[in-house]
Amino acid sequence: MRWALAISYLGQAYDGWQSQPSGRTVQDRLEAALARFADQPVSTVCAGRTDAGVHGLMQVVHFDTPVSREPFSWVRGTNRYLPADIAVQWAQPVPDEFHSRACALARRYAYVLLQSPVRPSLEAGRTGWVFRPLDEAPLRDAAQRLLGRHDFTSFRASACQAKSPVKTMRRIEITRRGPYWRFEFEADAFLHHMIRNIMGCLVQVGQGLQPPQWMDEVLAARSRDAAAPTFSPDGLYFLGPVYEPRWGLPERTAAYDWLP
């Protein structure tokens, strides 16, 4: 039987999502917990990888198992063996043709940024930080220039394994609550470090170091050297994938209402 699970996690203590020899990844911890609950090895496939320090509100995975349990049992039973900063949010049986990565129509991320003369303390590791004020109008102008289908090579990490740098950015929303900015991105897929590299460029525009039109030049250059340095992973959250309604999967978790 095939199951889909949604996982929320804080990424500060982990070397990213994908399993590594160190064992210090979210996938390693999840599969170990699933194995203890199911009393047999369980291998998961995720909707989208996250880097070290990046958080997840609704990472979706699927796995196959002969073990029969009720959905709530997969949630509560697996969570019993997970650390406090990782939790299964929901579990649901899915058809064999469902694939958490291949069936995703889009992925969504949010970046939370604190604008303050004082660095984060209570929210350390959970928000990015700038101490110079940001100007909203040029920020929005620059962001709009990234919408549509583009070659995002300039925002691609050298270690990126994607077959093509061409992606479709469907939506970028910028909101503000007091000193906290929230940048929300939705695209068919993302390259390695793509959002963090975009954030580096947006911050430079927002601080007046570059004009909004500079974003066009960075895109056209198709060179990582043309863009700003990679921004901190601290404020980056994987909101989760977007699926067709026919799969009947939840679209959000409770953490969506907690995140600024």
The Cβ-side half-sphere exposure at 153, using a 13 Å CA radius, reads 10
Could you tell me if 259 and 108 are in contact, meaning their C-beta atoms sit under 8 angstroms apart?
A: no
Give just the sign of the alpha carbon dihedral 240, 232, 128, 208. negative
- CA distance linking residue 158 with residue 204, whole number of Å: 22
- CA distance linking residue 116 with residue 65, whole number of Å: 49
The Cβ-side half-sphere exposure at 88, using a 13 Å CA radius, reads 27
Residue 227 is given by DSSP the state S
Locate 247 and state its tokens.
């799969």
The total of other beta-carbon atoms located within 10 Å of residue 222's CB is 14
Question: Catalytic: 51?
Answer: yes
- CA distance linking residue 233 with residue 50, whole number of Å: 10
Q: Which of 39, 51, 64, 135 is catalytic?
A: 51
The total of other beta-carbon atoms located within 10 Å of residue 244's CB is 10
Instruction: Give the active site residues.
Output: 51
